[in-house]
Structure 1
Amino acid sequence: MSDNESISSEKSTENFKSYKVGTKKTLNEYANIDSQDESLIKWKKSLGLTIDDSDLLPLDFPDDKRSVVVLKFQLYNADTKTLISEISFPKYRNSADVNAFLKNNYSPSSSSGEQIKIKEKTNFSIKIIFKVQNDLVTGLKYKQSIKKAGITLDKVDNQIGSYAPNSKTKSSYDITLDVIEAPSGLLGRGNYSISSKFIDDDKKTHLELNWSVNICK
């Protein structure tokens, strides 16, 4: 497990359910909640809750209220471990901003020619690099729906974990999704639209992305 991965568990998340993330506290205040409870002490340390507020990463924008900010999508060949393609997200304020960027640069209709292309039958995986700011995020989930010609072909519902805001010494987290085999043949090749969502335990959607890949020969 890499340093950037969440090291929380479903059991530890259960232990923390009575503490509401929405309550406005500093990280130091969170760190001192039930300071005598050994299980909570261990859980909070695993999330990095011993850091000071002064160690937090700066916000992208003044008064930025977002909790989850996606930095990159990377697609890897699962067999050769080589990078197929990468989307580096610019600084954005909301889902609308980043989806406009994706449409203008990575959609079939874009003039940039940067649409992600994957060779048929390739085993590939998606790595998502993101940061957390402002609040603890508990029970973060990644949901993904893949469609072709308006027909849903595959769905992903991954429990990612619980995360504290990133610090200067730990600037991001990452997750790698399960390996997918690219379809093949005349019917398998073509453009696929993908909807990605980041949702937490409170059913709050932090980000919704609409992007696409092209399966080619």
Structure 2
Amino acid sequence: MSHPEDHDELKPSTTPGYKLGAAKSADEYAQLDAEDESLARWKASLGIVPGASTTNSSGPKVSVLTLELDSPTLPPGKKLIFDLNDTAKLADTKKHPISIKEGVEYNVRITFKVNHSIISGVRYIQVVKRAGITVDKLEQMLGSYGPHPKGEAYTKNFDPEESPSGMLARSGSYNVRSRVIDDDGGVYADWEWSFKLTKEW
């Protein structure tokens, strides 16, 4: 059950005085300053080329596929990846939280597809609670992307963090609410999962 304060915590932070421009299609962006070669190369790196956008602009602009926790301390072959389409497995973490080793550096990585249009101002927000009290919040910008020319997914690695350590940190489990949202308040993914801190992976 969500509480009103949860929604405030999961709203993106704002920059005073910043105003979001009007949304444009990939083709409209491709035509802007078409004579500027360096800008054209940069737009092409985002998949913004004249005539390349799909005419099907229905559905979400962004589809978030996976969330992964990565660490150089993970044993060979061990991966902590959530398939966001597997809602049953995500829900199962509430009964069987995943184990994260205490006191290690790790980072969050997500893969996503841009289906149409250009995205900017899209960010990943993660709120960690223990016994109903917020103990950590992560907010990271995804960046600007257009639909991939080959329809492939993008991968974004966020800044490394360090997991808490100590006997107190290891007692009980942590509940996480993750969200991918843009500056307009459009939510592309919203899910919950749980973890516990352990002495080993």
Unaligned 5+ segments in structure 2 are: 1-17
Q: CA deviation at 1:184?
A: 2.1
Match of 1:86 in 2: 81
Whole-Å separation in 1 of the counterparts to 2:106 and 2:179: 20
Whole-Å separation in 2 of the counterparts to 1:29 and 1:134: 12
Please tell me the residue identity of whatever aligns with 2:93.
Y
Report if aligned partners of 2:118, 2:146 keep a CA contact under 8 Å in 1.
yes
User: Which residue of the other structure, out of 133, 153, 158, is the alignment partner of 1:151?
Assistant: 133
User: Which residue of the other structure, out of 66, 71, 77, is the alignment partner of 1:77?
Assistant: 71
Deviations along 1:128-162, whole A, 9 cap, x unmatched?
Answer: 11111122111211111111111111111212211
Number of aligned residue pairs = 178
Report if aligned partners of 2:64, 2:188 keep a CA contact under 8 Å in 1.
no
State the SS of the aligned residue for 1:35.
coil
1:175 aligns to 2:174 (yes or no): no
State the SS of the aligned residue for 1:130.
strand
State the SS of the aligned residue for 1:28.
helix
Q: CA deviation at 1:192?
A: 1.0
Match of 1:116 in 2: 98
Deviates more, 1:74-83 or 1:179-188: 74-83
Match of 2:61 in 1: 67
Q: 1:76 to 1:135 in 2, by over 3 A?
A: same
Q: 1:51 to 1:117 in 2, by over 3 A?
A: farther
Match of 1:160 in 2: 142
Question: Could you state the TM-score of these two structures normalised by the residue count of structure 2?
Answer: 0.73
Unaligned 5+ segments in structure 1 are: 1-13, 92-97
Match of 2:169 in 1: 188
RMSD, aligned CA? 2.9
Whole-Å separation in 2 of the counterparts to 1:194 and 1:129: 18
Q: 1:71 to 1:195 in 2, by over 3 A?
A: same
Report if aligned partners of 1:77, 1:124 keep a CA contact under 8 Å in 2.
yes
Q: CA deviation at 1:164?
A: 0.4
